[in-house]
Amino acid sequence: MSIFTGSAVALVTPFKEDGAVDYGKLKELVEYHVANETDAIVICGTTGEASTMTEEEHMEVIRKCIEYVNKRIPVIAGTGSNCTQTAIELSVEAEKAGADALLVVTPYYNKATQNGLIQHYTAIAEAVNIPIIMYNVPGRTGCNIQPATAVALAKKVKNIVAIKEASGNISQVVKLAQLADGCIDIYSGNDDQVVPLLALGGKGVISVTANIIPKDVHDMVQKYLDGDVAGSLALQLKAIDLCDAMFCEVNPIPVKKAVELAGLCGGYVRMPMTEAEPASVEKIKKAMTNYGLKLA
Q: Which residues are catalytic?
A: 135, 164
Encode burial over 36-48: b for 16+ CB neighbours within 10 A, e otherwise.
Answer: bbbbbbbbbbbbb
Encode burial over 128-165: b for 16+ CB neighbours within 10 A, e otherwise.
Answer: bebbbbbbbbbeebebbbebebbbbbbeebeebbbbbb
Q: What φ, ψ does residue 188 adopt, rounded to 5°?
A: -70, 135
Half-sphere exposure of 287 (CA within 13 A, CB side): 25
Cα dist from 293 to 24, 80, 181, whole Å: 24, 34, 40
128: left (phi over 0), alpha (psi -120 to 50) or beta: beta
From CA 274, how far away is CA 282, in angstroms rounded? 16
